[in-house]
Amino acid sequence: MQEIDDKKLSDLSKRFLQAISYCGLSGYKLKKDNIISSESTLTSIKKGIQLPSKKTIDAFCEKYDVSRAWLYTGEGLFAKTPSGQIEPSEKDIRDALKNARMQSDSTISKVAPYLQDILVKVKYVPMDAAASFVESLYNTAYEIDSYGVMPEEGEVLDDSYMVFQVRGDSMEPTIPDGAKILARKIEEGLWESASGVVSIVYGKTLSVKRILKNSLFLDNVLTLKADNPKHGQLDVERREIKGMWQALRIISQKII
């Protein structure tokens, strides 16, 4: 179980984590219920590296019947009541978030060196370097960037992992434009069993798509689709595929 360092936590983070404990929730459950984007978000909050956002807190309270007034201010009852529920004012919420940031900033000098120790540099392909990365798979020299990733518990981030930055809205709402995703290389001998969301290079294109149908074993064809209904699907022949990585989780994205 992930240890919590209370000395690095704001009062708001402490109450948020207490509520998670009272409700018997795990990072996996919070991610599954769309409260947090990934389990690493909860790890960051526990380590005092990140604060729970207003969007996260409001979604959490709504989903699990926790009092927003208690979570933001520490006043009142932990659970929602059938009647007489007191809602925090906008000023209460602003003050709570401001105080949390101030408490967090006061420990930043202690947290930063620790953060550098736990981040692992992973090969990184930003949007503007996608073409160069694709060319590198055709035996063209390419000096690849790196990106610091916080490994989840038990995760070993070796050379098979990469970070890709997503371009466009084809995978929204699952993966927004500009988000960075962590992915693990799928060896060619395992392409026939690939499923889910993948980063894939075919022809001269690097794309992030969901595998709709994997017919590589029978027909040497992989059918890809976008999560955004505005975009369609396409068939990719095996001979066009130059590399494939299994998308694991979003590690960075803008708040929408």
Q: Give, as one character, the DSSP assignment of residue 164.
A: E
Whole-model pTM over 0.75? no
Q: Give, as one character, the DSSP assignment of residue 66.
A: B
**CB within 8 Å of 197: residues ≥ 6 apart:** 171, 174, 175, 208, 209, 210, 211, 246, 247
Give just the sign of the alpha carbon dihedral 64, 67, 72, 77: negative
Same domain, 67 and 129: no
CATH number at residue 158: 2.10.109.10
Q: List the chain residues with pLDDT less than 50.
A: 1-3, 108-111, 114
Report the distance separating Cα 182 and Cα 165, nearest Å.
9
User: Is the separation of the CB atoms in 66 and 52 below 8 Å?
Assistant: no
Angle among Cα 253, 244, 195 to the nearest 5 degrees reads 85
* Both tokens assigned to 80: 């929602």
What is the pLDDT, as a whole number, of residue 109? 47
List, as own/partner pairs, every contact residues 210-215 make where C-beta atoms lie below 8 angstroms and the sequence separation is at least 24, other chains included. Answer: 210/171
**Residue among 143, 147, 146 nearest 135 (CA):** 143
User: Is the separation of the CB atoms in 36 and 27 below 8 Å?
Assistant: yes
In a domain, 149, yes or no: yes
Same domain, 142 and 220: yes
Angle among Cα 151, 109, 152 to the nearest 5 degrees reads 10
Same domain, 47 and 63: yes
Query: Does an H or E element contain 182, and which?
Result: strand 180-185
* Both tokens assigned to 60: 């959490």
Specify which residues 164 forms β-bridges with.
Answer: 125, 181
Cα separation values, 149 from 45, 157, 235, Å: 15, 9, 33
CATH number at residue 65: 1.10.260
What is the pLDDT, as a whole number, of residue 190? 95
Structural domain that includes position 148: 120-252
In a domain, 49, yes or no: yes
What is the pLDDT, as a whole number, of residue 17? 93
Write down which residue in 66, 95, 116 finishes a domain. 116
What is the pLDDT, as a whole number, of residue 74? 87
What is the pLDDT, as a whole number, of residue 192? 95
Same domain, 51 and 168: no
Give the model confidence (pLDDT) of 89-144 as tens digits.
Answer: 888 888 888 887 777 665 544 445 545 557 888 999 988 888 888 887 776 556 78
